[in-house]
Each structure stands twice: as C-alpha cells, then as structure tokens.
Amino acid sequence: MSLAAFATLLERLAFTPQRLGKERLLMQAFTDSPDPQRGLMLAAITGDLKLRQVTPSLLRGLTETRVDAQLFAASYDFVGDLAETIALIWPEGTRSDPPLSEVVEELATTPKTRLPALITARLDSLGPSERYAYLKLATGALRVGVSARLARTAFATWATLPVSEVEEIWHALSPPYLDLFAWAAGTAPRPEAAARAPFRPVMLSTPTDLDQLSALDPTAYAAEWKWDGIRIQAVSDGGTRRLYSRTGEDISAAFPDIVDLMDFDGTLDGELLVRRDAEIASFGDLQQRLNRKTVTPAMLRSHPAGLRLYDVLIWEGSDLRDQPYDTRRAVLTKAVAPLGPRIDLSPELDFQTWDDLAALRLNPPATVIEGVMIKRRDSPYLAGRMKGPWFKWKRDPHLIDAVLLYAQRGHGKRSGYYSDFTFGVWNGDELVPVGKAYFGFTDAELKDLDRFVRNNTVERFGSVRSVARTKVVEVAFEGLNRSTRHKSGVAMRFPRINRIRDDKPAAEADHLSTLQAMLDRET
C-alpha cells in the first residue's frame, strides 16, 4: 500500500457513515495490499502504531517558514483542523508516492533533531491528500470514525475467523502482524506468541432501563453497584504482575501499590478506585493517579488505590470464561478472601423484583456509585459488547441550564462547523465557564448552533470565537469534581448538550450556587 492509497482509504472511511460500509472498505484494503503494508495500515487505524508523535507546535513552525503567518492563521481558523490546513496551504512541489512502510519507518527511527528537515522534505514531495495522511500518521491523530474493535472485526470477517479468536490474541501481537496475516491465509498456525496473551478482551454491558427490564425474569439475574472508577484487568501470571485498562493499556507503573498486593495466579476483572479505609473517593481523586509514569510516596499516601473485583477470567491455570457467572462468582469469592482489605469483592445486591432494584438504585450508599450492573446468572464471560448477558442501569444524569460562551471548530468531518462549545452559569452578575461539550446534539442542531456562532461572534481568538451571551442550552452531566484549574471551582464529568433552550432567556440560566450545592451533596 502506497501513501496515496492509504490517503484514499482514510478519506473514504471518513465519509462512509455506515459501519458495514467501513468494514467493506477495510476488507478490500486487506485484499489489495501486500505485507507489510496492510499490517501497518491496520495498526495505524487501531491505534497500535507507536510512532514518535510530532507536536502541533513543530508543524506550525515549519508551515510559517513557507506560508505567511497571518494567512496561515486565517486559514486554520476557517478549516479548523491543523493537518488539513497544512495539507491544503503547503506550496506545491514535486510529487512522489512512497510506500506506507517507508514513511512509518522514517517517522519511527529518525532522531528528534532531524525530524523538522525530514517532515519538510516529505511535505514538499507530496500532494494535498498524501500530505494530510502523512500528517495524521505523524501526529497520531487519525479520526476516521473507525474504532479499534470495528477494524479487528473487519479483519476477522475478511479472514473468515471468529472475531473472539482475533480479540483473544490481539494484545500479544505487534505490527505489521505478519504472523496474523499468515494465519489468516492458512500458511501458518495460530501465532504461538499469542497462546497466553497477558491481557484478555473484557466483557462489556449495554444500557437498560426499567421498561426494558420488565420483560425479563429478575430471578435469572444478579446485580451489584456500578462504581465510579476505571475498569481494569489484574493479571498475575508466572511471577509477572500487570494492571491493564479495559482497552489493554498497561497502567501498572501508575499503581505500584496495587501491583504489590496481587499475590495470586490468575486474571481478575474489576474497578480501580482511590479508597481511604472504607471510603471510596471521587473520580477526581483517581484522576490524580492516572497516566503517571511514576508515583511519589506522598501521592501513594494521599491517594491510596484499591481494587473492587467483579469477575474472574482465569484462576490457577484454569480458564473459567466459559463457566456460568454464578460459578465464576463462587471462585472469585474464595480467591479474594486472602487479598484484602484493599482488594475486595463488589457486593451483590439483594432484590426480588425490578422495582426493588429500582428503589436501591435511587438510594445508593455512596455518592460515587453511578448506578447498578445487572448480570445474567448463567452467562459465560464473552469478549465485547452484546445485548442480553450484562446490563448497566446508570443513575439519571444531572441537568442544568447554561449559556454558550465560546465555540471552536471541530475536527475531521466536523472541521467545517463550530462544534466544541464552552458554556457557563451565573455567579452574581457574571457568567463563569463550567464545562465544555462537543456532542449530544443532532446534525440539524449542530447546523443551527454553527449558524448562531457565525451570526453572533463578538470576538475571535485564533480558532475560538466568543459569542453573544444569549443562547441557552440544557447540559447533562454525570457528576462534579472540585477544580483549581477553573475559575468556577468546579469541573463536570462527561458533559453533553441535552437540548437547546431557545424558549429560555439567558438571565434565567442556572447559578453557580446550584452546582456548588450539588458538589456539597456528592462530597
């Protein structure tokens, strides 16, 4: 696969809305491309192609050596996407079409001091589409509406292999996946390196509500609290201990206090939390520990981590994933007993009817509980998300009315629209920012919001526009944290625009005291 072919694939994926259409495009690319090009293409789309990421500031600096700075700034403001802007505005030069493997190799191995010259030379020799693909590779910012799961599903379908088998071995493989494609072609056995992958694909749940549950027999299901942490997989195998996120990222370095406690032989599924004795801390406290390469002794003391376990996949050499949930739960109960107190079992809830469970959900014992998890008692542990075995019944979101303050251009398919919105609430006579949202609205509502921004801009700050304080939106969010970074002192968890309130004047939007009261209740 050449860089031009890769660029064409990215464009077609970005503008193909249907999932099946994207799968067909990927399968055709697997057929048309030789090794190692197709494996590198797959790795780039799944996010497993680990290159030395090029910073936006480096690219801006290079571009301003070739293009007038004011013209570049105005173009970036209009286009909204840095890679697309540079791809379009960079002066035309001689055309070349290098293999994808050549481009990947040089980006991965070129010393940092030589990167500016390398990138400049490549941009000089590429057309606009190829420049765009090259820059997306260099920055690691591919956004073409294809999840890693969808890409792996497309590969499994193309190879006529069960997607569960591909998922099972994926995290033991590395690009360009020559052994994987050889297995698919029938010229080699299943990759041996994947026989004992350290990370196993996790089982996911689907949302539900009381109306959907009413058609099910409650005696066939178990339930437990949905804790507000991050889903993890704890693996202790042959003396090697690792903590993985649900996507397979190794996060062991950030949680050495938990790794030290993993004195077992198996693979356990649970929730990573910050806990101080019996108290589970807020997600904001957990965020202080995430994404760290090292953790200071002070942080270990002030933000001690804990595991609350849900399930067991492998125990003492036995793969239990095909066993019923109740059987696995019995094994897990015995397994957890000697590990406490910071590694414990998520308790099951006592209920007879769905109305009983609804009452529990409305009155959880801790504010950090997000809702309830519901699991069919006879369900095996199945990789991925399928409707039926596991459900999540989350608590109703918080709602406030806020005023739009700023808007920024989106990315990818949204680069032509203002789609990232900052909103605020009243603090006395002043509007203070409390959050930012870029989803929740329909395509039609996005066009209306974009039109409002263009017609009501009062100031410009690069790609950001300040707008007249007249548009009210209803914002839904999952919770609040205290924040020293925000003037308001609060930060929202997972905010989204729930609806546009053209019926409400800005003066009737909510006040900061409303959010502070919510925060006080949660803490």
Is residue 344 one of the residues assigned to a domain?
yes
Q: 36 preceded by cis ω (within 30°)? A: yes
How many angstroms separate the CA atoms of 168 and 196, rounded?
9
Q: Provide the pLDDT for residue 164.
A: 82
Of the segments 66-75, 134-143, 280-289, 418-427, which one has the largest average pLDDT value?
Answer: 418-427
Q: Evaluate if residue 170 carries a pLDDT over 70.
A: yes
Select from 346, 372, 394 the last residue of a domain. 394
Q: Where is average pLDDT lowest: 69-73, 176-180, 183-187, 352-356? A: 69-73
Q: Do 373 and 234 belong together in one domain?
A: yes
Q: Provide the pLDDT for residue 267.
A: 94
How many angstroms separate the CA atoms of 168 and 194, rounded?
8
How many angstroms separate the CA atoms of 407 and 441, rounded?
14
Q: Do 333 and 421 belong together in one domain?
A: no
**188 neighbors 179 (Cβ within 8 angstroms):** yes
Q: Provide the pLDDT for residue 467.
A: 93
Is residue 301 one of the residues assigned to a domain?
yes
How many angstroms separate the CA atoms of 285 and 280, rounded?
10
Q: Provide the pLDDT for residue 473.
A: 93
Q: Evaluate if residue 55 carries a pLDDT over 90.
A: no
What the block records as the tokens of 44 is 């780039």
Select from 351, 377, 394 the last residue of a domain. 394
Q: Do 237 and 309 belong together in one domain?
A: yes
- Structural domain for 213, as ranges: 203-394
Q: Do 341 and 410 belong together in one domain?
A: no
Q: 176 preceded by cis ω (within 30°)? A: yes
pLDDT, tens digit, for every residue of 462-480?
A: 678 899 999 999 999 887 8
Of the candidates 413, 339, 391, the residue with the CA atom closest to the CA atom of residue 145: 413
Select from 394, 426, 444 the last residue of a domain. 394
As a 3-state breakdown, the chain gives helix, strand, coil percent values, each rounded to 5, of: 40, 25, 35
pTM of the model as a whole: 0.70
Q: Evaluate if residue 130 carries a pLDDT over 60.
A: yes
Q: Provide the pLDDT for residue 28.
A: 96
CATH of the domain at 502: 2.40.50.140
Residue range 352-363: mean pLDDT, rounded: 93
pLDDT, tens digit, for every residue of 283-325?
A: 878 888 887 888 899 999 999 999 999 999 999 989 999 999 9
Q: Provide the pLDDT for residue 383.
A: 84
How many angstroms separate the CA atoms of 173 and 415, rounded?
34
What the block records as the tokens of 456 is 């009501």
Q: Do 304 and 369 belong together in one domain?
A: yes
One-letter amino acid for residue 161 of the chain: L
Structural domain count, the chain: 2
Q: Do 447 and 341 belong together in one domain?
A: no
105 three-state secondary structure = helix
Q: Provide the pLDDT for residue 298.
A: 93
Q: Evaluate if residue 196 carries a pLDDT over 80.
A: no
Q: Evaluate if residue 242 carries a pLDDT over 80.
A: yes
Is residue 83 one of the residues assigned to a domain?
no
Q: Do 207 and 349 belong together in one domain?
A: yes
The answer to whether residue 226 is catalytic is yes
**395 neighbors 357 (Cβ within 8 angstroms):** no
Q: Provide the pLDDT for residue 411.
A: 67
Is residue 457 one of the residues assigned to a domain?
yes
Q: Do 238 and 330 belong together in one domain?
A: yes
Q: 324 preceded by cis ω (within 30°)? A: no
Compute the CA torsion angle 344, 348, 350, 354 (nearest 10 deg).
150
Q: Do 424 and 386 belong together in one domain?
A: no
DSSP state of 222: E
460 CB contacts (<8 Å, ≥6 apart)?
Answer: 77, 466
Is residue 40 one of the residues assigned to a domain?
no
pLDDT, tens digit, for every residue of 10-41?
A: 989 888 878 899 999 999 999 999 999 999 99
317: left (phi over 0), alpha (psi -120 to 50) or beta: left
Q: Do 252 and 346 belong together in one domain?
A: yes
pLDDT, tens digit, for every residue of 77-120?
A: 767 678 888 999 999 877 889 999 999 999 999 988 899 999 99
Residue range 423-428: mean pLDDT, rounded: 91
Residue range 267-276: mean pLDDT, rounded: 94
Report the 3 state secondary structure along 380-436. Answer: CCCCEECCCCEEEEECCCEEEEEEEEEEEECCHHHCCCEEEEEEEEEECCEEEEEEE
Q: How many CB atoms lie within 10 A of CB 155?
A: 25
CATH of the domain at 349: 3.30.470.30
Q: Which of 226, 334, 375, 487 is catalytic?
A: 226
Is residue 78 one of the residues assigned to a domain?
no
Among residues of the chain, what percentage have pLDDT more than 70?
A: 96
Q: Where is average pLDDT lowest: 213-217, 331-335, 517-521? A: 517-521
Q: How confident is the model at residue 197 (pLDDT cuts 50, 70, 90)?
A: low
Residue range 404-426: mean pLDDT, rounded: 84
| Exposed / middle / buried, residue 300 (Cβ in 10 Å: 0-12, 13-18, 19+) | middle
Is residue 503 one of the residues assigned to a domain?
yes
Q: How confident is the model at residue 165 (pLDDT cuts 50, 70, 90)?
A: confident
Q: Evaluate if residue 224 carries a pLDDT over 80.
A: yes
